[in-house]
Amino acid sequence: MNDDEKNFIRKVNIDKARNVSKIAMVLIIISILTYVIPLLMGEFDFGVVFEIISLIFLLISNSFMGKYNETRAKRYLICSMVAIGWILIYDLISLLTSIASGVDIFIAGYAYGGGEFLTIAYLILLFKINNDLANADNPTKYKEKMDWFYEGYDENKENK
């Protein structure tokens, strides 16, 4: 594989990661907006701090993706993942400390469901971005994986 092909594969995977990061940004902004009404009512939730930190790290990572620097982009993306991991741990601890009975589990599960769904979907998108950046970091392995996939696809097509 020549350098032009490696560079092409690297840029394609970074562009894929950058496109997914735009969706992740929209998701985290929606998740942050869910904290606005409780904040207006005077109820502060420390989770908003973790989500803002995660958004900042994702924005920094996205700027490095724009410069096609996958190593630094991946570094800041992992920092964003850690912040979201902390919010999930914080929310779990908060949920467990506020439960007194089985009815509370149902009510708290209903109240936490929307925000946690957004957070988990955001974390899944961060893992997808990390996978694309890993493919950009090692174009040779990515090409071998794709060649293996298409060889298997061609064999299945010939057998039918």
Q: What is the pLDDT of residue 100?
A: 67
Task: Give the span between the Cα atoms of 140 and 18, in whole angstroms.
Answer: 21
The CB-side HSE value for 133 (13 A sphere, CA atoms) comes to: 27
Task: Give the span between the Cα atoms of 52 and 78, in whole angstroms.
Answer: 15
Q: What is the pLDDT of residue 102?
A: 59
Q: Judge whether residue 101 has pLDDT over 70.
A: no
- The 10s digit of each residue's pLDDT in 65-81 is 999 999 999 999 999 99
Is pLDDT larger for residue 126 or for residue 117? Answer: 126
Q: What is the pLDDT of residue 42?
A: 87
- Work out the pLDDT band at 127, boundaries 50, 70, 90: very high
Show the 3-state SS of 77-91.
HHHHHHHHHHHHHHH
**What's the whole-model pTM score?**
0.82
Range of the domain at 16: 3-159
The total of structural domains in the chain comes to: 1
Q: What is the pLDDT of residue 139?
A: 79
